[in-house]
Amino acid sequence: MRTINPDDVVKPASAYAQGVVHRLGGERLVISGQIGVAPDGKVASGLEAQADQAWVNVLAVMAAAGFERRHLIRAIVYVTVPGQVAVYRQARDRALQGHLAAMTYIEVAGLASPEFLIEIEAEAIKED
- Structure confidence at residue 109 (pLDDT): 98
Stretch (H or E) spanning 50:
helix 47-64
What is the residue-level pLDDT of the chain in tens, covering all 128 positions?
789 888 988 888 889 888 888 888 899 999 999 999 999 999 999 999 999 999 999 999 999 999 999 999 999 999 999 999 999 999 999 999 999 999 999 999 999 999 999 999 999 999 87
Distance CA 57, CA 37 (A): 8
- Structure confidence at residue 82 (pLDDT): 97
- Structure confidence at residue 112 (pLDDT): 96
Residue count of the chain, please give it: 128
Strand partners, 123: 30, 74
- Structure confidence at residue 8 (pLDDT): 85
- Structure confidence at residue 126 (pLDDT): 93
Tell me which amino acid residue 96 is: L
Please count the other Cβ atoms lying within 10 Å of the Cβ belonging to residue 30.
Answer: 10
- Do 122 and 34 touch, CB atoms closer than 8 A? yes
- Structure confidence at residue 59 (pLDDT): 97
End-to-end CA distance of the chain: 11
Domains: count for the chain: 1
Residue 70 per-residue DSSP state: G
**9 lies in which domain range?**
2-127
Q: For position 104, which CATH number holds?
A: 3.30.1330.40
DSSP E strand boundaries for the chain: 2-4, 19-21, 26-35, 72-79, 102-107, 118-127
